[in-house]
Structure 1
Amino acid sequence: MIAITNFDFLVGKWSVLNKRLKERLKGCNEWIEFTAEMETKKILNGLIVMDEMKSTHFGDEFIGLSIRMLNPKKNEWKIYWADTANPEAMLKEQVIGKFENGIGEFLGKEIYEGKEVDLKFTWKKKDINTAQWEQAYYDKINEKWETNWIMLFTSIK
């Protein structure tokens, strides 16, 4: 695994294999897979890393937007999300965190099925051409994190 301290590794074009649990926080182990393409760029001299992801998995062309903003004094990132499936939600803050020992861990809260859940993103740079993102919810009943979405990124040259 490559040691990383920020999102520079994500700049460029990517093919993305998505794996999502069919049901979350219900002990489900059935995964749904679909593909997407993503393009990422830096703006404001790298203080912001922004991407646009496109997929047809959700019916009409789905577009998701991530904006990652760095607070250089704290070396901490805030990640925001918006997508065409929920245009009324606009841009929402999801998680805050940083990279340590080459792994990015970001924590926040999210409303899922009408309840607030603890949310965690984990970023890993596997090698020069691949990366991985995971999303997990904290399962309060079993007192552990349940990974419910995995994205495997492969660079498109």
Structure 2
Amino acid sequence: MQAAPHLSSLHDFDFLVGNWRVHHRKLKERLAGSHDWVEFDGTCSMRQLMNGWANVDDNVMSVPGSAYRGVGLRSYDPKTGLWAIWWLDGRDPFGNLDPPVKGHFVNGVGNFYSDDTLNGKPVRVRYTWSHITSTSARWEQAYSPDGGKTWETNWVMDFVRAI
């Protein structure tokens, strides 16, 4: 007999559907002891795919001197109850997709993890979604050089719903 699907997290990203203004705060250098941040604005437009089992967002990042786009793609696995999130960077659209971060929400906070490399060294990656309301949300990216013992937040995105 097949196990019942986990559907309790299927609607976790419904809050993100629509258009957003986004304020970015990004470390100039990751895992280098940097305290220099670059701040810039952007937009995000997200829509559901496959009747809610997946979604995609188109992001415009107005980085001074080097504006670019990126795409976030998410899909839900009813066997595990986990979301997988991939990132496609518009500066290298024919390059590889980043390894997907996988996770779920607990008490309104979503944590998603993967293993990747930075400058040839292994890092653990964490995305965190929090502070979610009908008109705002926060996304953070952090890297760990020591398998998750310590984390450096290197990118923060504050979302405000566009009218």
TM-score relative to the length of structure 1? 0.89
**CA–CA separation in structure 2 for the residues paired with 1:90 and 1:141:** 23
Q: CA deviation at 1:81?
A: 1.0
**CA–CA separation in structure 1 for the residues paired with 2:81 and 2:148:** 33
**Identical positions, percent:** 36
Match of 1:155 in 2: 161
Structure 1: runs of 5 or more not aligned? none
| Match status 1:120 vs 2:155 | no
Residues 20 and 32 in structure 1, CA contact (< 8 A), matched pair in contact too: yes
**CA–CA separation in structure 1 for the residues paired with 2:121 and 2:62:** 28
**CA–CA separation in structure 2 for the residues paired with 1:11 and 1:108:** 24
Counterpart among 77, 88, 106 of residue 82 in structure 1: 88
Q: Give SS of 1:9's match.
A: helix
* Matched residues, number: 154
Q: CA deviation at 1:60?
A: 5.3
Q: Give SS of 2:132's match.
A: strand
* 1:1-157 map, 5 Å: 6-57=12-63, 59=65, 61-140=67-146, 143-157=149-163
More strand as a share of residues: 1
Residues 96 and 106 in structure 1, CA contact (< 8 A), matched pair in contact too: yes
TM-score relative to the length of structure 2? 0.86
Q: Which has the larger radius of gyration?
A: 2
Residues 38 and 52 in structure 1, CA contact (< 8 A), matched pair in contact too: yes
Residues 27 and 37 in structure 2, CA contact (< 8 A), matched pair in contact too: yes
**CA–CA separation in structure 2 for the residues paired with 1:124 and 1:73:** 25
Distance 1:107 1:66, change over 3 A: same
**CA–CA separation in structure 1 for the residues paired with 2:64 and 2:97:** 19
Residues 94 and 110 in structure 1, CA contact (< 8 A), matched pair in contact too: no
Residues 9 and 125 in structure 1, CA contact (< 8 A), matched pair in contact too: no
Distance 1:33 1:16, change over 3 A: same
Residues 122 and 133 in structure 1, CA contact (< 8 A), matched pair in contact too: yes
RMSD between superposed Cα atoms in Å: 2.1
Q: Compare relative contact order (CA 8 Å, sep 6+) and give the higher one, 1 or 2.
A: 1
* Segments of 4+ moved more than 6 angstroms: none
